[in-house]
Chain A
């Protein structure tokens, strides 16, 4: 007697999102190995992938990649449901909210760098609000805000430049078509 198998139909979209999410998770894991001067200050390299996906495929795909990255990335580095996971989730949700607005900036004037910097600020904002409300219920956390904001500006710019560099290269064959074939 063969156990019945359930086949979930997999679309080209699913393949594409999974590929980009895998790339983002790889960057998250690589980044977890880097020492950080202050908890919360990280390059956020996975956001490069989110930016690229946002520009190429739209907000819905970017949201999928970002949230899959947070959940699966935290599983891989053993942080799932730890405080760091919720901070990352709050940051990701806030920056997705800002990305939804920032993608409508006139493309003639604003490139990925602007979007990246805005998202980085939203990221740090979401994290610090959650930290203030839940982890450190004291206004003292806001003393760290200038440092976080500096890091957000710096890494947001770098990530945006890398994303802009990636986006400047045209996609030769659409990767989704190849994967789905």
Chain B
């Protein structure tokens, strides 16, 4: 079995398995500990830093491309927009928003369900109404779900 490994690897395996106990802790020098702690802190900090951008804080409702209203995503409420063929009902809850009902024949924007991330869009084309979430303008602000 052992001779299936290439020479270098076999020697190394022999070294590691053959030699007695050497505690792992002895292999870390003070600088290593320092670097590991710093690296762990950086990695931990990268989570909120890079994942916060997607949090939405307001819903933008437009009709024919014109801004109708902006709803803050911190209180639950319903909002009615009158569009080209009827009334679209937008429902807002803390942190999310959806199209509750729409007169359009295929109900795409209703079936899309809750929108939670910044730049997510639900478009009720027959009624000329769009619902879009907006965040705090991170570096992705020029992208919306249509770009995926």
Q: Which of A111, A138, A153 contacts B143 (CB 8 A)?
A: A138
- The reply on A37 being an interface residue by CB < 8 A is no
**Interface magnitude class on chain A:** 35 or more
- The reply on B28 being an interface residue by CB < 8 A is yes
Asked if A166 meets B12 with Cβ closer than 8 Å, knowing A114-B32, A114-B35, the reply is yes
- The reply on A35 being an interface residue by CB < 8 A is no
Query: B35 contacts A117, CB within 8 Å?
Result: yes
Closest to B9 in A: A23
- The reply on B1 being an interface residue by CB < 8 A is no
Query: B46 contacts A165, CB within 8 Å?
Result: no
Query: B31 contacts A26, CB within 8 Å?
Result: no
Per-residue contact bits, chain A 14-44, to B (CB 8 Å; 1 contact, 0 not): 0000011011011100000000000000000
Report A-chain residues with C-beta under 8 Å of the C-beta of B28: 111, 113, 161, 164
Query: A146 contacts B43, CB within 8 Å?
Result: yes
Report A-chain residues with C-beta under 8 Å of the C-beta of B3: none
Asked if A111 meets B32 with Cβ closer than 8 Å, knowing A146-B51, A161-B24, the reply is yes
Q: When chains A and B are docked, how far (Å) is the Cα of A168 from the Cα of B7? A: 19
Report A-chain residues with C-beta under 8 Å of the C-beta of B143: 138-140
Which segment, of B15-23, B72-80, B85-93, faces chain A?
Answer: B15-23
Closest to B5 in A: A26
Report A-chain residues with C-beta under 8 Å of the C-beta of B22: 165, 168
A contact patch SS? helix
Please give the distance in Å from A68's CB to the nearest CB on chain B.
Answer: 12
- The reply on A145 being an interface residue by CB < 8 A is yes
Please give the distance in Å from B14's CB to the nearest CB on chain A.
Answer: 10
- The reply on A59 being an interface residue by CB < 8 A is no
Partner-B contacts on A (CB < 8 A): 19-20, 22-23, 25-27, 49, 52, 105-106, 108-114, 117-118, 121, 138-140, 142-143, 145-146, 149-150, 153, 157, 160-162, 164-166, 168-169, 175, 179
Partner-A contacts on B (CB < 8 A): 5-9, 11-12, 15-16, 19, 22, 24, 27-32, 35-36, 39-40, 42-43, 46-47, 50-51, 54, 139-140, 143, 147-148
7 example contacts (A-B, Cβ-Cβ < 8 A) are as follows: A20-B8, A109-B30, A113-B35, A118-B35, A143-B51, A165-B16, A175-B8
